[in-house]
Structure 1
Amino acid sequence: MSARTHPRPHPAAAPGGVDIRLPWWALALPTLAFVTLLVLILNPVDAQAAAGDPAITHLVERVQQLITR
């Protein structure tokens, strides 16, 4: 008497390929963290408290102007 085989619940991945599915938050959280850090870096209120090279200050202000357009 032969044993009955059970079908696989999910189709097998293509040979040589990888089937990866990420949840929505796996992309949303790093994006949110990046945007938050970028906003903290470009915040003009905190930029005036630091005494740094004027060229860097002008560069940061220029980048901020380009982003806010």
Structure 2
Amino acid sequence: MSAASSRPSVPRGRGVRTGLPWWALALAVVSFVTLLCVMAAPSSAHAVSPSQSLAPVLEFLARIAGIAS
């Protein structure tokens, strides 16, 4: 009588398959590089003046949508 095997038979795979598309890795790499560039050159950053705020953009969008007079 032969002894029963205690290890189940598992087929060997060729590697880990995550199922992620190629652009998922590319998007992560681009995001990391962009953030790294922003952190590396903080001297080129400047504060936004009131004339460069979001208000003119919102007013323009309101005129297009016909909300504002």
Higher RCO structure, 1 or 2 (CA under 8 Å, sep 6+): 1
What TM-score do you get using the length of structure 1 for normalisation? 0.36
Higher Cα radius of gyration:
2
> What TM-score do the two structures reach when normalised by structure 2?
0.36
